[in-house]
Structure 1
Amino acid sequence: MRRVRVDLPAWLGLAVLLAIALLALAAPWVAGNDPLAMVARPYLWPGQSGAHWLGTDMLGRDLWSGLVYGARVSLRIGLEAGVCSAALGLAIGCIAGYCGGWVDNLLMRLTELFQIMPSLIFTLVLVIILGPRVDTLVLGIAATAWPNVARLARGEAQRLAAMEFVQAARVIGMGRWRILWVHIVPNAMMPVLAMLAMLVGHAVLTEAALAFLGLGDPNVVSWGSMIGAGRDVLRTAWYMTALPGLAIFFSVAALSALGAGLTDWLNPRRGALA
């Protein structure tokens, strides 16, 4: 029961994320309207119309449809960017930590180079050069989020390289690269998986910031693009930015709670401390 109480925020975060994911998957049946279609009179406030219970924006687009379909885009970008950055950081960190020497020095200097650059500005430049599309947003966010993962994976790889089962694999003649991909990478993956929820939340916030600046994909609706669209009428129709802002807040808070719970749960010393 003590562990259940400790993990309660993580379970609540998981429940919130599952609810949002189910709404996103059921968007054609739950929302009903195309989020880009003008379906009613503009500037309907929440509760003013039974057919559009969360109101409409300045173009008459249904905000409920925008929130539900926007969850698809925002969570897709967050998940894809998080997985890509986690995989890249895991590979670079494990290679650096296990190989050591000049390989470690070269990869860590590369990691530091990406760390000292302002991540949002670097992502913004990449998106401007490649064009504001969903795939370029994923690429731009993933290209700046991997250094912390690489440092974490490097430390795990250095710890694992000194363990007995790795030494035994060397003794029986297993090659260096086979040891790396068979023993080091799978065992270093656990703390990276715990960090994945944080990476997804970071990607959701970064996408919202880019869309707010007008660099989101114009062919889709995301929570960030909804906030950006309501920026000019913030004083007179604040609900247009408040509703997607709340969606981002609850999603990122749920991801943070889930990430903290996974970090604690996957900690190998948890059993000894509990």
Structure 2
Amino acid sequence: MIKTIVNDKQLLFGIIGLVFLLAVAAFAPVIAPENPYYFGPDVLNKPGMNGHILGTNKLGQDIFSMIIYGTRTSLQVAIISAFISGLLGILIGGVAGFFGGNVDRVISELINVFMMLPTFFLILLIIALFGNSIYNVMIVIGITTWPGNAKLMRAQALSLRERTFVKAASAMGESKLQILFKYIIPNGVFPVIANTTVGMSNAILTEAGLSFLGLGDPNIVSWGQMIYDGKSFLTSAWWIATFAGIAIVITVTIFYLLGDGLNHVMNPKHSKGKEV
């Protein structure tokens, strides 16, 4: 396993990057020089001025501290929304592919309907109706991004249900639900895991987009909120939005590398190609 990770550079860099992000989030109180919610007297200080590494914003908040604590928000959004999306996709797609027939037709049409909907505008509508707390944002992103995972799981289930070990389990008297949760889902979940990891980066971008439009949670520190606050000062205090944007780019790249690397490792065709 370790050899596989080392050989796949994308997965290796993705894992190193993820460990770095988790460490920053875990030790944020130690790394951050100030409380990011503290409104100090140093307003719109340039990077390096008065001990502020990345400067301050219009309220005197330390940008570096906000970037550090924003890591927690981004990881929280990424992990929880991706978990909801992955769980829904696995269950719905697994049921559709394994049971087939009318169940598959109905669920497939439901998936197609959700995939045709303009997801971001649907998220905007739900946020406008139910509020823009960070928990609402995470839940909404999760329940609007599951169709891609469902299609992947459905394809896996359609293939796995014809395998010998599944037919043997059915012949031995195991119920369909037992087969679904013991054989179909555990053996077909790997492509969904890779896709969900990539989906984490999309969740971060979605949260940042909502915050940039003024629909993020104003009570928390997030990179999208920093860009929203700094867009009015791009010519006079560029550092407010710029460093938050760089943090988003780096984090999204890490999750893309991780997801792409997992896809390489978990894809049987890729493995066979490397053996040849």
> Shared topology, TM-score over 0.5?
yes
Q: Secondary structure at the match of 1:195?
A: helix
User: 1:110 deviation in Å?
Assistant: 0.9
* Deviation (angstroms), 1:243: 0.3
Cross-structure match for 2:188: 188
Structure 1 residues 150-183: Cα deviation after superposition (integer angstroms, max 9, x where no partner) = 0000000000000000010111111111111111
Equivalent residue runs for 1:99-114 within 5 Å: 99-114=99-114
Structure 2 partner of 1:242: 242
Deviates more, 1:242-251 or 1:230-239: 230-239
> Over residues 14-67 of structure 1, what are the superposed CA-to-partner deviations in whole Å (9 max), with x where a residue is unaligned?
2122112211111111114221211241111112232x1110011110001100
Q: Distance in 1 between matches of 2:271 and 2:262?
A: 14
Which residues in structure 2 correspond to 1:30-69 (within 5 Å)?
30-50=31-51, 52-69=52-69
- Counterpart of 1:240, as a letter, is I
Q: Unpaired runs of 5+ in structure 1?
A: none
C-alpha contact 2:14 2:261 (8 A) present in aligned 1? no
Secondary structure class of the residue paired with 2:211: helix
Structure 2 counterpart of 1:119: 119
Cα offset, 1:256, TM superposition: 0.4
Q: Letter of the 1:160 partner, please give it.
A: L
Matched, 1:271 2:268: no
The one-letter code of the counterpart of 2:47 is: P
| 1:264 CA displacement | 0.6
**2:19 equivalent in structure 1:** 18
- In the TM superposition, residue 6 of structure 1 has moved relative to its aligned partner by 5.3
* 1:146 and 2:146 are equivalent in the alignment: yes
Deviation string 1:200-253 (CA, Å, 9 cap, x unpaired) is: 101000000001111111111111111111011112212111101000100101
The number of aligned residues is 273
| Closer, same or farther: CA 248–103 of 1 in aligned 2, 3 Å | same
TM-score (norm 2): 0.95
Higher mean Cα deviation, 254-263 or 232-241?
232-241
User: 230-239 vs 199-208, which deviates more?
Assistant: 230-239
Distance 2:59 2:86 in 1: 39
How far apart are 1:11 and its partner, in Å? 1.1
Q: What amino acid is the match of 1:15?
A: I
Letter in 1 for 2:171: V
Distance 1:92 1:4, change over 3 A: closer
One-letter amino acid of the counterpart of residue 261, structure 2: G
| Equivalent residue, structure 1, for 2:73 | 73
Which whole-Å CA distance do the structure 2 matches of 1:105 and 1:235 have between them? 55
User: Partners in 1 of 2:157 and 2:5 — Cα distance?
Assistant: 31
- Once residues 181 and 73 of structure 1 are traced to their aligned partners in structure 2, the CA distance between those partners, rounded to angstroms, is 33
User: Are 2:250 and 1:259 aligned?
Assistant: no
Give the corresponding residue for 1:27: 28
In the aligned structure 1, how far is the partner of 2:45 from the partner of 2:98?
Answer: 60
RMSD (Å), alpha carbons: 1.6
> Using the alignment, how far apart are the partners of 1:4 and 1:167 within structure 2?
34
The answer on whether the counterparts of 2:77 and 2:203 sit within 8 Å (CA) in structure 1 is: yes
AA aligned opposite 1:249: V
Unaligned runs of 5+ in 2: none
Superposition pairs for residues 210-225 of structure 1, below 5 Å? Answer: 210-225=210-225
Structure 1 counterpart SS, 2:50:
coil
Contact map agreement 1:84 1:142 (CA 8 A) in 2 = yes
Q: Distance in 1 between matches of 2:242 and 2:23?
A: 22
